[in-house]
Amino acid sequence: MSAACGADGADGAGGANGANGADGRRRHWQRTRVLTAALLVLWFGATFVVTFFARALSFEFFGWPFGFWFAAQGSLLVYLVLVGFYAWRMRRLDAGQGAPRPPERPQED
C-alpha cells in the first residue's frame, strides 16, 4: 500500500475505493445479507413448511399427491432456481460495487 492510499486502501480516485468506499462496502454487505436472508426463508419454506403440511396439501399434481411430488421433484427445482437467482443477483451487486469479474477460462482446442 502506498503512502497515497488511506488506511482502508482507498486511493481517493472515487468509485468503490474512493472517499465513500467504507459506505459502499457497508451497503454492499447489507444488500448481500438481505438477499441471503430472503433466499434462506424461501429455502426453509420449500424444505420444511411444504413437507410439514404435505397431508393438508393432498391434491393431485402431475398425477401424484402434491406432497410426494414436491418432496421428490419440486424442492429440487426450487433449490435450482434459488442458486441461479443468487448467482445472477450477486454478479449484478458485485459489478455495481466495481468488483472485477473472474478471468475467462481459456478455450481448449
Q: pLDDT digit of tens for each residue in the chain (109 aa)?
A: 434 444 444 443 444 444 457 888 899 999 999 999 999 999 999 888 888 887 787 788 888 888 788 888 888 999 999 999 999 999 999 888 877 777 777 777 6
In a domain, 19, yes or no: no
**How far apart, in whole angstroms, are the C-alpha atoms of residue 53 and residue 66?**
10
In a domain, 69, yes or no: yes
Instruction: Kindly report the pTM of this predicted structure.
Output: 0.65
In a domain, 42, yes or no: yes
In a domain, 54, yes or no: yes
In a domain, 2, yes or no: no
In a domain, 45, yes or no: yes
Beta bridge pairs of residue 60 = 65
In a domain, 83, yes or no: yes
- Provide the number of structural domains found in the chain: 1
pLDDT at 79: 95
pLDDT at 14: 43
Structural domain including 33 reads: 25-97
- Fill in the amino acid letter for 35: L
What is the full DSSP assignment across 20-70?
A: THHHHHHHHHHHHHHHHHHHHHHHHIIIIIHHHTTTT---EETTEEHHHHI
In a domain, 109, yes or no: no
Q: Which residues of 70-106 are buried (b: 16+ CB within 10 A; e: fewer)?
A: beeebbeebeeebeeeeeeeeeebbeebeeeeeeeee
